[in-house]
Structures are given as structure tokens and as C-alpha cells.
Structure 1
């Protein structure tokens, strides 16, 4: 039977429709989903064994929920996807502001309508997409916004006194009756506003300007909060927190693989970009590693968190950096080079909050350091750890049978020690960059030894990684100067720096002598 053909209360009764609460509705549909091995929360990655099972248990228990976690942890997305667990359509009294159930009307409007028309009371069907309400908690949110107030214009138009219940203008919570209502960043809500939610959660009473209305609203409440907001901007008042039955802790991706999947799912890359630019798994992992480094970095405020949006924006920037370079040189195909990752710096600086020491260092320098640390961390996943080679070389005397471990980087460092240097321009043509990389003695040999089946582009990218990795492990010098990356020998750079400092000291001494005279 087509439910939309049911347009009156009498027809609804004859159909055998039975009312059930929104929490019972979600519970029944979730049970069906679990039995059918369906995924009620699609596109939520990394929560399969943690947050999603906790949420399902809370919904089966018919609980209101508080998602507690740092920014960018899919708290609101989890709440929005609960809509899919609602029935596709439910009947409501036509014209009702609060989605009155025709069989159990709550508002004065609906009760009067049913009393007047009986079985001929008009019925409408409400889609589940319209049964979701959301409010971002800000200090200026009022009780009238959430619950309601007297509407003097309505009173004047209907020629009613302010004592008549029909003059009430309902807020967003009553209008979300028989649905899901979400308050984001709950601690930002003023304490007196939070107190107004007590009775709604527990007793179902709402009070508007002296009207004591017994309206047992049928709502699944979902709240989100940052745990550090309790001290930064406000707190969840204890009685309200006590009335929220399930508190679920969210978290950031625990593995690079999960983080990679999230970025690939969420990043907005155009078909034209996909055709022009290829992104290797190596570069993708470097970008994800930046977020992991940031979450444990001493300069980054851990209380604020590092959102998954950092890697999504960084990935888009990296692709755009390569695209821009290809457009400049009219290239038909290119790849994201490690030097292109300098283009992700704006995505990093905009997504991290710094502690005092970080502010002193400066957001740009912190972002550069995070990128260098990401290269250092990922480099050892592809090539031998230079630190281990240093340690083995310094362990003292060896027996005659024990050979000194082979250092695969020796020929590269020797090339730089001989006074050679390599400049890689940020906007260099691919062919020019490949030719430049092959100038470094032994660089291709290292890559060929560990990756004998790599193609030309892969070889060149791995060669570039070796240079950046050796710089990250202080075996060669790397400087970013005016749109180019300069690689030189480490000792020569240090000596030049020392000579420069000595030169400065000499001038300083002369200046002091001149001042004295």
C-alpha cells in the first residue's frame, strides 16, 4: 500500500499504523541493519572497533549521546548519519509546527484540530531527511532560540491574548520533535541555557514565558564537545551531563593506512587534475606523516588537536603545486615531487594551534620542521636508517671476522664533500629535475640496489627522497632559498656558517672599538 495515499486520521487508523518513539524506531532499524550485516555508518573510517560499536550500544539502549573528542574527529558526521536509521516516512498532523503524531497529538493546535475534525483530520507524511535539527552552541544562543517564546505578531494577527497557548512560537528543539536534535560544542552554551535542557531531557516539560506545558517531546539528543573546552571556554553543567546517558570518546586515526583512506575519500581532486598529476604512495604517506608528527610535536597545542582536515587540504595543495608547475611548462603529465610539498605549508599553518614556544618559533618554521620530521620518519621505511650506520661505525673495535657494515650513502656524501652541490628549483621541468638528480654520484645506484624494478619516474622520486632523507639525518646540508632547494656538504656549510659568525664577531668588536673611541 502506498502510504502517501493515506491523507486522513481515519485512513491511518484503518491501515493498522502503530506509533513508536524515535528511539524505538532507531533501535528496531539498527537491529535489522546488524542482522543483515549492513554498515549503518558509511564513510566513517577508523572507528570500526571503537566508536561505532559504542554508538550502536548506546542506540540499542535508547540513550541520548555525548560525543567527546578533539576537532576533526567526525563527531557531527556520526550524528548526521543516524538519520538513515529512521523510518523513511512518518505521519504528522498537517500544519503542525512540532510534527505531532496524529494518534498522540501534543500541541494545542493538533489537539484542537483532532477534536474538531476527528477521523477527517488531515495527515501529511514527513521524510526522515526532514527529521534532523542541528544547532552550533555559541554564547549568544538564547532559550527562545532553542525552546521558544511568545510571538506578539501572531497574537495580534489572531487577536489572541498573551495567555493563550496559541501565541507561542516554538524554538528549534520542539520543532525537532519525533526526530534527532544535535547541539555542537555543548560547553559553549551558557550555563543558564544548559539548565533549560534539564526538564526536556528528563521529564519532558518545557516552560515558555510562564506557560507550563506538559509536552513529552520525543527526541534523540546528540551532543558534541571538545574535552578541553571544559577549562577553555566553559563546561557542561553537572546535572545536564548526568542526564546524558552515554558519553563516547572519539579519536584520530591510529594508523597511516586509515589516515590515507580518509584523505583519499575526502580530498576534492578534479578529473583534470587526476589526468595530469599522479601521486605516488610515498608522497601520500609523507603527507599523512605530517599530521602524526604534529599530534606529538612539542610546539603544537595537543589540547586543540590536529584535524584530519590538515592532510586533506595538504593533499589538495600538493596536487595543485604539481598541476601549476605542469601548466607553466606545458607538460602533459607530471607527478608530485617531494619538492612540491613546500606547497602544503599553508595547509599546515592554518590547521595547527601553537603553544607559546611554538609562537616564538613561528608557524612557518614549525610547519617546515614538521615536514622535515615526516620525511625523516618515512625515509627509514624505504631505505636503511643512517642513524644505525653511524652507531655501528662508532661501536669501537671489531673482530677480524666481523666486517664493517656497508654504508650505501658513502658515494653520495663523498660527492658533496668534494665541493659539489645540487640546486633543485621548485618549478623545475620534470626532465630537467631528473637530469639534475643523475648528476649526483651514487644516487641512482642506491635506488637501483633497493628498488631494481622501479621505472624512470619512480627512480627519480626515490633519488629525491634519498637527498631529503640524508638532509633530515644531517648527512648533507639542505637549504630552501628563493624558490629553490640547495643541497651541499654538511661540513662545508657548517664551516661557512662558522666563518660568517667569526666575520660578524670581528665586525662587532671593531664597532665596539669605534664606539669606545
Structure 2
């Protein structure tokens, strides 16, 4: 974006007189944003860079609100980029604006509202010093918490200032301004607004309606020029608090946010946000298959009956899970002295901490335990993605005739396990050792090559491992995590010996004697 005229003007103007001679005209912050947004739209520029999945939903709603010069409320579950979008609105401000030098509330030189600015102009006239404020400094943000006070937001009388200046408490100069007046001529964001006490929300009425503030008993009218952006989570309306109706009525536009609607959009978000170090990328390769498995976990969690839907499942789950998966592979490579490796399906055991810390469980989920719920979500992720790569085992179960059973592509693999064979994949195996182990299973490599002829050795090995996890997810073979390894066995033998082998608990996973 080209620099606007204020950049050129600001290089040479330092006094009020010079500003008047330049022909500069001040605008309200909402008019300023409206004008700059229209320019971006005319040039077909991306209004909110890095915001993925909102192109046809949230972004148009926000643009319409800004063009209408509305204050707005972002309403949505956690991890839906509400605050991020609010912060990016500073890019729609002019690069620089002039303010009275020394003003605590960014007074407009042509329309001063504080006692300080008025006195400066009365004293120095056209020689009043001017300061140029960058748009990055025109943003204020406050996380609403129950302990936030009116003094924090709006201001209060400062007895220390009164004593030092030897002024009466009725003098406007003894006021200590809160964060809202200090955001004058800018954007101010209140996150999680329902957490504010009702009496604090009431204090915002006059600012939104009349644009001015009132501090204690002062006969003070100070019309502020602010774009207000509020954020809230729907669960707040029932669990912690609510937005009082008169305040909500004064917020002109309510913007509903949402989670990614498909895997590809979610993948793009995670790819953009995941913090993968260059040295990790140099050692660890991660396939599109593994990325989709990680992403699918969040989709499964959002649809799970064990997870609290009112709380939501943040996009940060997928981001941290991907980072953990790569770190699990990196750790294994370092331990084994390998220069190169890839993320295997078995490495997904390492993403469990990313899941348990990002989901809120309902009562039934608490009974299951967070670890068990996380493992169930992993299994569902594998099950959902498996049918995108290989024939659906569920449909093959319904085939009864001998001819139909012979068409089963998994028949030889199942037969190998039915003979009493078992496969143990240790979590810290070297890649070469893991590949050798996978080749022991009859028909496994042939199955992968049947559907993926162009796959190289490592890609084929990853798909071979994926097949085993997929067959377990569809209950054609059994899978069990024991200490630092994953055991694959025939289903019937495992059920007879150990009961349900696909069920885990925190105690079983940590118990060294569990086998």
C-alpha cells in the first residue's frame, strides 16, 4: 500500500501554524477507516491478511460494518481469530495523524477536547508543538475480568497529582485518564466483554451513545473519537455473565465467527500458524496424510459427544498437535542418531498432551478420562481419513459370499494375524527397523503398491503403517499401546485374552507392569 499524504506532511510540520498552512483536514477515526477501506476494495486488496476461511462469511460482514461506521461485537467460540481481526484493523488507519504534543488523549490540533490541549493552544497559538502519531500506537486493548474498574477504563481523580500541582480536586487537570480516553482517535478492543460486571458495562453506555465520558462529579463533557470492538464467547452468556441488553443494543453490528468448514481450510490455517523451526524442517518430513490426520482430530473433537460444544475446540489444538508430532519425530531421530526421518502414524501418540489441554469435557467425558478421550479422538481421526486412501473396511464386512470375501483387499493381512502372528512397533524404532518390521506382515506391501504404484520406499512404509492403524480403527485387528510400543494382533485372540484392547486409561498407560 502506498504511503498516504500524512507521511509526507509529517516530515516537515512541527507546529499548529504549519499544519493549518498545509491544508490538512482532520477526520473521525470511523471516516478515516471507511475511506481507506473503500480504497482497498477498489484496488481489490486483501483487507485482512492471514485470515483464512472467512473470505465469504466474516470478512464481508466486517467490511459492511466498517463502511457503516459501526462499533461491532465479534461473537464466537475460542480460537476463531476474533482478536486477531480486531488488531488488523489498524492497517485501515492513516499511517500518521497529527496530535498536540504532550497530550495524554491524542488531541486533534483542530478540535482539542482536553484542558491540557486547550491551554497549550491558548498559550502558544500557531506555535503549539505538533507530534505525529503512527497507526500502530492508535490501538488499545483490555481483557475483561471481574476486577476491572471504571477507573481502569475511563479514569478517576488522582490525589497525588492534585497535591503535587497544588490544585483543587474540582480542577480537570487532576484527572488520571483510563485506557479508553487514552485510545482517543484510535481503535479500542474489549475482549470477553460478558466478564465485565454489569455496573462497569453500564459505564460504557454514555461513551457509545454520546461519545463522551463522565468522571465522578465533574461537569465534564469530553467527546471521544473511538472505534469500539468487543469480543465474546457464546458460553459466557450462561456460564459466567452476560452483555447487558442496553449495552448490546448500542453496539450496531454483531459479527458471528466460526471454525474452518473443511479440512483444506483448516490445513492452510495450521500451516500458516504452526511454529516449526528451520532445523526441525531440515530433519523431519511430514506428509500430507499426517497433516490431515492431525487436522481431523479437531473436527472429531468438535463433533464428539464427550466434548463440551459450548466451549468449542480451538484451532490452536491442531497447531500445537502438529508442532508436537514434528517434535516427537525429531526427538526420535536425535535419540537414534538419524539425520533424516519422517512423522509416522505412531508418532501421533505424542500429540495427546495437545489434545487434553485444549478440550473441555462433559460429564461422560470426565468419566472416561482425558487420556482415553484423546485416544478415542485419534482413533476416530484415523477411521475418518482411512476411507479417503483405501477401500472402506466397513462395507467389506457386509459381504457374505465366498467370492465377495475373496475380493477383500485386506484378507491376506487379516489371515497373517489370524495365524497367531503379532507385530510390535516400538515408538523409538529407527526408520529402517520400522520398515523391516512392517514388511513382515503378509500382503501389507502388496496392498499399498496396488493403490499407490508411484510411492517410494518411505511413502509406502508410512502407508503400510497407516493400513494397520486403519484396520484396527475398523476392528479388523487389535491395537494396544503398552509402555513404549504399539502391539498389533488378531482381534479374536486379543479379546479372549485381554478383553477390549482398544480401550486405554491413564493408569494403564503409565503402569510399567501393564501388558
Q: CA deviation at 1:24?
A: 0.2
Distance in 1, Cα, partners of 2:242 & 2:103: 35
Q: Equivalent residue for 1:235? A: 242
Residue by residue over 1:305-363, the C-alpha shift from the partner in whole angstroms, topping out at 9 and shown as x without a partner, is 00000000000000000000000110010000000000000000000000011011000
> Residue 9 of structure 2 contacts residue 22 of structure 2 at CA under 8 Å; is this kept in 1?
no
Q: d(CA) in 2 for partners of 1:404 and 1:235?
A: 59
5+ long unaligned stretches in structure 2: 1-7, 502-515
Alpha-carbon contact 2:471-2:477 (below 8 Å) kept: yes
- Equivalences for residues 237-256 of structure 1 within 5 A: 237-256=244-263
Change (3 A) 1:145 1:403: closer
User: 1:514 corresponds to which residue?
Assistant: none
| Partner of residue 10, structure 2 | 3
How far does the alpha carbon of each residue in 1:135-156 deviate from its partner, in whole angstroms, 9 at most, with x for none? 0000000000000000011101
Q: Which residue of 1 aligns with 2:277?
A: 270
Name the Cα RMSD after superposition: 1.3
- Report the CA distance between 1:497 and its aligned residue: 3.1
Q: 1:103 to 1:161 in 2, by over 3 A?
A: same
Q: Contact 1:205–1:212 at 8 Å: present in 2 too?
A: no
Aligned to 2:379: 372
SS in 2 for 1:423: strand
After TM superposition, list the pairs within 5 Å mapping 1:117-266 onto structure 2.
Answer: 117-266=124-273
Partner of 1:495: 496
Q: Return closer, same or farther for 1:403/1:417 CA change in 2, 3 Å cut-off.
A: closer
> Structure 2 CA distance, aligned partners of 1:297 and 1:193?
37
Q: Which residue of 2 aligns with 1:353?
A: 360
Deviation at 1:204, TM superposition (A): 1.9
In the alignment, the residues of structure 1 paired with residue 417 and residue 353 of structure 2 have an alpha-carbon distance, to the nearest angstrom, of 32
User: SS of the counterpart of 2:214?
Assistant: strand
Say yes or no: does 1:281 pair with 2:281.
no
- String of CA shifts for 1:230-286, please: whole Å, max 9, x gaps: 111000000000000000000000110011111110111111100000000000000
Report what 2:21 is aligned to. Answer: 14
Q: Which segment is superposed worse, 209-218 or 64-73?
A: 209-218
Query: For 1:16-95, what aligned pairs fall within 5 Å after superposition?
Result: 16-95=23-102
1:386 matched residue in structure 2: 393
- Cα offset, 1:205, TM superposition: 2.6
CA distance in 2, matches of 1:403, 1:33: 61
For the pair shown, the structure with the greater C-alpha radius of gyration is 1
Using a 3 Å threshold, how does the CA distance of structure 1 residues 498 and 151 change in structure 2: closer, same or farther? closer
Deviations 1:169-197 (A, max 9, x none): 00000000000000000000000000000
Could you say which residue in structure 1 is the equivalent of 2:315?
308
Query: For 2:29 and 2:312, how far apart are their aligned partners in 1?
Result: 34
User: Within 1, Cα distance between the matches of 2:495 and 2:59?
Assistant: 53
Query: How many Å separate the matches in 1 of 2:484 and 2:144?
Result: 44
The answer as to whether partners of 1:187 and 1:234 remain within 8 angstroms in 2 is yes
2:478 aligned partner:
477
Please name the residue that 1:334 is paired with.
Answer: 341
- Corresponding residue number in structure 1 for 2:417: 416
Rounded to whole Å, the distance in 1 between the matches of 2:10 and 2:201 is: 39
3-state DSSP of counterpart to 2:421? coil
CA distance in 2, matches of 1:175, 1:458: 58
- Give the deviation of 1:209 after TM superposition: 1.6
Whether the 8 Å CA contact 1:69–1:251 is kept in 2: the answer is yes
SS of the residue 1:160 aligns to: coil
**Per-residue Cα deviation, 1:411-450 (whole angstroms, up to 9, x for no partner):** 0000000000000000000000000000000000110100
State TM-score, norm by structure 1: 0.94
Cα distance in 2 for partners of 1:32, 1:204 equals 27
TM superposition shift of 1:470: 0.2
Partners of 1:191 and 1:359 in 2: CA distance: 33
How many positions carry a matched residue from both structures? 494
Tell me how far apart the structure 2 counterparts of residues 47 and 212 of structure 1 sit (CA, whole Å).
45
1:50-100, Cα deviation, whole Å (9 max, x unpaired):
000000000000000100000000000000000000000000001101100
Please state whether the residue corresponding to 2:440 is helix, strand or coil.
Answer: coil
CA distance in 2, matches of 1:390, 1:53: 47
Q: Is 2:451 the counterpart of 1:450? A: yes
CA distance in 1, matches of 2:48, 2:112: 32
Q: State the alpha-carbon separation in 2 of the partners of residues 213 and 173 from structure 1.
A: 15
Q: Give the superposition deviation at 1:403.
A: 5.9
**In 1, Cα distance between the equivalents of 2:235 and 2:168?**
47
